[in-house]
Amino acid sequence: MATARLAPGVALVTVPGQGLAVRTPDGEFLRVDTGTAAPDAVVAHLTRGHGRPGATGADPSAHGPAATGSGSSVAGSYDGELEGLVAAFGDAGFVAPEEDGVRGPLAGRTVVVLGDDVLTEPLTRFVQAEGGEVRHATRLTGQPEETPPDAVVWCLDSPAPHGLWDDADRLPARGVGWLRCHREGATAWLEPLAAAPGDVTSADVRLRRLAATPAHRELAAYWAGSCTDDTGPSHTAASAALTACLLTADLIAWAAGRGGSRRLRRVDLRDLTVDEHTVLPVPAVAPLTR
């Protein structure tokens, strides 16, 4: 029989006097009719012998002829029952074939990471831990001979200079995921991931933020660099890890096919609280005529 293992997030639960149940990744419990197969044997097979069978109420010795190899018809029936159960688990998505190995949600995805080390270092670790391949860059070259990445993430421990992300805003139109974050004083801003034409870009976020504040002239001047040097507080190890985790979660959602996002998040670096706001793309308008 082919070896199988439980899929991530799936657990087998032995209920005293009731037999075997499955706990799904969503927390739902489903009762299992093991038929002539001993529940303990099902647990052992799907956990490679490392499960905790508990009190299932089943007596594995009742299947002694199958275990000892005497009585081929009984053994064949028992093995067939177990194989049928494993197949049913597979059809329900509760097991993964052994030969598939463990693949993270970002497996097969190439992510280009740019920006400040305090953020890019933990982000690199998290993306790689989820199976993604990370390439580092200091700028977007856009050379034709380069293999385009699946996504680009740009992280700044400072305000984003005016115009820095204009070229990167064109990435979603080329099918490249585009994600970014920056810090303004004690606030880190995590902008929505854009993955297709019409998704929220950095230009959209800036226009929406300007429209939402009565101090739009002052905010525009701040972004343009007409201010004193930023003195922090800079990211700490904890705030950088939190920011990198949130960015990685966005990448995982995108890799799972959920596309772009319309969620603008703010992280207060002083107490690590996170809040979020919905932000919409700004429709294109015709230029003013004189």
At residue 274, the 3 state secondary structure works out as strand
More confident residue, 232 or 265: 265
C-alpha R_g of the chain: 27
Q: Which residue has the tokens 């009762």?
A: 31
At residue 261, the 3 state secondary structure works out as coil
Is 219:226 a contact under the CB 8 Å cutoff?
A: no
What lies within 8 Å, CB to CB, of 26 at 6+ separation is: none
pLDDT tens for each residue of 269-285: 999 999 999 999 898 77
Instruction: Output the pLDDT for position 111.
Output: 97
Among the ranges given (76-80, 145-149, 198-202, 227-231), the one the predictor scored with the smallest mean pLDDT: 76-80
pLDDT-based confidence at 147, cuts 50/70/90? confident
Pairing of strands 29-32, 19-23: antiparallel
Distance of alpha carbon 139 from alpha carbon 267, whole angstroms: 26
More confident residue, 11 or 1: 11
Task: Write out the residue limits of the CATH 3.40.50.720 domain(s) in the chain.
Answer: 110-278
- The mean pLDDT of the chain is 83
- Whether 141 shows a pLDDT value over 80: the answer reads no
What's the whole-number mean pLDDT along residues 132-154?
84
What's the whole-number mean pLDDT along residues 163-173?
94
Instruction: Output the pLDDT for position 286.
Output: 59
Instruction: Output the pLDDT for position 98.
Output: 56
Instruction: Output the pLDDT for position 288.
Output: 58
Instruction: Output the pLDDT for position 210.
Output: 92
More confident residue, 193 or 104: 193
Instruction: Output the pLDDT for position 44.
Output: 82
Which span out of 15-24, 25-34, 143-152, 166-175 was modeled with the highest average pLDDT? 166-175
More confident residue, 261 or 179: 179
- Whether 15 shows a pLDDT value over 50: the answer reads yes
pLDDT tens for each residue of 251-270: 999 999 987 789 999 999 99
Which residue in 164, 146, 163 sits closest to 155, CA to CA? 164
Distance of alpha carbon 25 from alpha carbon 23, whole angstroms: 7
At residue 21, the 3 state secondary structure works out as strand
Task: For domain 110-278, say whether CATH 3.90.1150.150 is its number.
Answer: no
Distance of alpha carbon 206 from alpha carbon 214, whole angstroms: 14
Q: Which residue(s) pair with 97 in the sheet?
A: 4
What's the whole-number mean pLDDT along residues 46-66?
48
CA–CA distances in Å: residue 276 to residues 189, 193, 240, 263: 10, 14, 18, 6
Among the ranges given (49-58, 151-160, 239-248), the one the predictor scored with the smallest mean pLDDT: 49-58
Instruction: Output the pLDDT for position 68.
Output: 33
Burial class of residue 74 in the structure, from the number of CB atoms within 10 Å of its CB (0-12 exposed, 13-18 middle, 19+ buried): middle
